[in-house]
Chain A
Amino acid sequence: MPTRTAAKPATMAQALQRAMRDAMAEDPTVHVMGEDVGTLGGVFRVTDGLAKEFGEDRCTDTPLAEAGILGTAVGMAMYGLRPVVEMQFDAFAYPAFEQLISHVSRMRNRTRGAMPMPLVIRVPYGGGIGGVEHHSDSSEAYYMATPGLHVVAPATVEDAYGLLRAAIASDDPVVFLEPKRLYWSKSDWSPEAPAAVEPIGKAVVRRSGRSATLITYGPSVPVCMEAAEAAQAEGWDLEVVDLRSLVPFDDETVCASVRRTGRAVVVHESTGFGGPGGEIAARVTERCFHHLEAPVLRVAGFDIPYPPPMLERHHLPGVDRVLDAVARLQWEAGS
């Protein structure tokens, strides 16, 4: 393990950078590539210093072409490298979808396991940073609908490190969704402390409670934590489950929680219609029907293209909307 130097609290961006740096130091086959990831260190500075430390062959500024970036990464993985690809923003990953869906996700399958795709696609995603059009999409539903991909979204600084390490070590492709409005969130975790590598596919109970479960992930985790604190005044003791990974989905942790509380609300930024919440609500209902005191509710972004920044606060599910849903959990037949 390389020695850790910084002693002050780290941001999520720093933890992600540290994860790549540690992985690159340990494994010479790990290569970082994307637009502006080299000299600039990425537009969010997440790859800061990697080109300087490991050289341009290991941290490469590519031509500006997302399909080309991911497509060449596929070839590199075929030759035994472990590419870590940065897509500059959520909505700019779309040109690479053909490569993602037709090749990355199914290379293992179409070759009967002979050719795994150990690559990571890092996508700064989600809203709340006042970004103009095409800079705030929550595209997780597209990724979730594609068999063969893992879909991961950390919400804490610790998880950002631990899950990215696991993603890079994974022999399967991982779409790694980085909630960009949490890039600058801090935690007491310092790069000096030993950081655990988290297995992909395990949800975690962030706050335990008895009256209802908030099921959430990524940028909505802090919102749910705040809502849970606020709900206490109303006599609601809320449990918050942070999924961390959407694929694989941790039915066990989620259902254990809902069976305890009997009520659940799924909270996320992406659209409700056709969004992840529908899948999650259905899974929970199928497995916990007899434990439920109320329908599983969803608090999601509206079913609209991501709004302009001056209106985004109306779109993003905030504490009040979560609390409204919690209030609606006092379900009575016919109400």
Chain B
Amino acid sequence: MAKTLDKVDVVTVGVGWTGGIIAAECAKQGMKVRGLERGKERGTKNYAMIHDEYRYAIRYELMQDLSRETITFRNNLKMRPLPMRQMGSFLLGENLGGAGTHWNGMTYRFLPYDFQIKTETEKKYGKNKLSSDYLLQDWGITYDELEPYFDKFEKTIGLSGEDTNPFWGKRTSDFPTPPMKKTPLLKKFEKATKDLGYHPYMVPSANLSEPYENPDGSKINACQYCGFCERFGCEYGAKSSPEVTVVPAALKTGNYDITFHANVVEVLKKGNKVTGVRYIDTQTGEEFIQPADVVVLTSYIMNNAKLLMVSDIGEQYDPNTGKGTLGKNYCYQIEPGATGFFDDQMNVFMGAGALGMTIDDFNGDSFDHSNEGFIHGASISFTQSGTRPILSNPVPSDVPVWGAEFKKASIENYTRSLSVFGQGASMPHKNNYLALDSNYKDRYGVPLLQMTYNFTEQDRNLHKFITDKTVKIMKEMGAKKTEGGNPLTDYDIVPYQSTHNTGGTTMGADPNTSVVNNYLQHWDMENLFVVGAGNFNHNSGYNPTATVGALAYRTAEGIQKYREKGGMLA
């Protein structure tokens, strides 16, 4: 028998970037907000012994315990879906801060083109540039409309950068802090790309170039370039994360609290409204009902979609009929790149998560696609994020992967190789989607989320095009030997690729093609908001966090509007 708790104004499911932003904004307005977090409390005090590659990067100390919950996966409708039994392709977050604790801090705003991709593509290349199997759609919001929210997120995190990129959208204010240090390795990339006629700029970084106090009064320190960023937490409080920014800002108001070890299993509803959520205390097994005027799903894209599915809210997408919206437009990212081998040793073990430079000459619609078999593109970057010895054993492809020759070559090349990589955009395809699995369950008896995903023709063409560019850049950087990545085949969930999973709870202007409106308010339940990278209709050629942050600020404004006047906001 579930115990019913006292009602709150707003409940968020998950406390990472989105849950933290919404908590801070709503609590500052005087709303009583409660965050339900399935994991533990944690913060900078827990990251003192973080320089430990094995514990954090290999054994995934900060990440989701898959023994409790995972997803099932298949490449296509014919394959039997099976559980992702260990982490690989992407790294799911858990505990306070979520994936915002162990991100790298590369923080790009999506391009104006992204938000109107369908309109822009048709205008320039006609209606049949991509076949109708690709479910391209506009986002129901423009870059200019989102700009103030981007601005707000960047000021919260103190983003370090420079506005020198000719390809991205207009900014109303400059970066809060200057860019990070331009190291000799970055200069190598800068010179090579400039000589090729491209436009390199410093990666907008949430590892700050100098100490910063944000508008909420939270202090973020200056990055020390220790080389332990992605997959790690920051012992200096110098990587902007929910724990050092929005969560303390929310707590400071006295209107916010967090319940840890609270695993939400259902969103409760009555008519066209939700009434709260049901959760299990993972320490005692007890069930609780948390009533709320407004429910906000602020977990990772997988659980946001799963909770809507198990609560039977909205219509599940069916690839055979094309009907339904929930679970559609699941996208990922394409990772073309090249490795170069050099003669001289370099300080590859130093760095910071977002220490790097990027070119957008082949991203978005910066170049003409008339003769290409794909749309969009990739940002191409070189980053010096600190390579570590277990995961970095670069050897040319003709060297065996074990034995005497491997040992020599991997030691030789550890400090003598660099990589240039693209983050390739991912377009939605009718056969790539999320649903509920019918065979496997999590520890609480709830079905696992099921992912059906494979790379497409568009992906393969884009991958080849960008790989060639990265090879060219690497050669220009002076590598004595350059190897481009292998051509794209089937998506494989084993090797790490990227934790940039998107879609499934898309946003838009039309309830027939999206799950939420442009305030991230659910089309069928006016007091339910769903926010995160799940709202993306496709994935761009950048890291997603800036756009996720902007959408969270937009959601917070939507919640305030809704409390004032009720009803549908868009």
Same complex:
no
- Residue numbers of A with Cβ under 8 A of B are none
